[in-house]
Structure 1
Amino acid sequence: MSEYKVHIINTGKVRIEPELAFGGDHCSTAKAAGFSIKRSPKIWLPVNVFLVETPDKLVLLDTGWDHSMSPNGVFDKKAQIKSLGSSLLYHVNQGVVAKRMTASE
């Protein structure tokens, strides 16, 4: 059997309302933005990608947001607001990009 390796690469973190991540199909825009009777602190979630080494090739898996968040592969504020369905959600839920790594790290 050939050896496979999986590397978890942290690309940053995102600070969101718990309802956005765990509210399911019943999460309204207001709840996802933090406007609810029950106030809960925002949570930080890691943003990871997975690099799979196979004997033949490298495969990078990104399990994050849908392609509509960045249709051209670059930061696109308008596309993100459209994908989220609300400029309020865009402004309330923000992230932090991890330190850029070099090839030698």
Structure 2
Amino acid sequence: MNNAILMGRLTRDVELNYSQNGKAFTRFAIAVNRIGEGADFINCVAWEKTAETIAEYFKKGQRILVQGSIRTGSYERNGQTIYTTDVLVSRFEFVESNKQSEKKYDDDDEFPFS
């Protein structure tokens, strides 16, 4: 089973991008506190409606809970292989109190706001 659930703070504002075939996506990182001291910085990727909603409603420093699967990959840069690890986000939750708090969203959900 490949399932990760993480809660952390966004390390920067989320930017919405589009793939060559027109699908919305975003890449962002969250800082997840360790027990004791320190934090881990986890890279995340979201697609389509999930990406659009996260990009619209979340800003740097806000807390978010994400659920998804861990994906690894690699690419070449300057003759060196760079290895990557990301969480492919399938669900997220608003953690901080606002008008949408305590709501959960899936990739398949129609969002109640636009």
TM-score normalised by L of structure 1: 0.30
TM-score normalised by L of structure 2: 0.28
Report the structure number with the largest CA radius of gyration. Answer: 1
Structure with higher RCO (Cα < 8 A, 6+ apart): 1
Higher helix share: 1
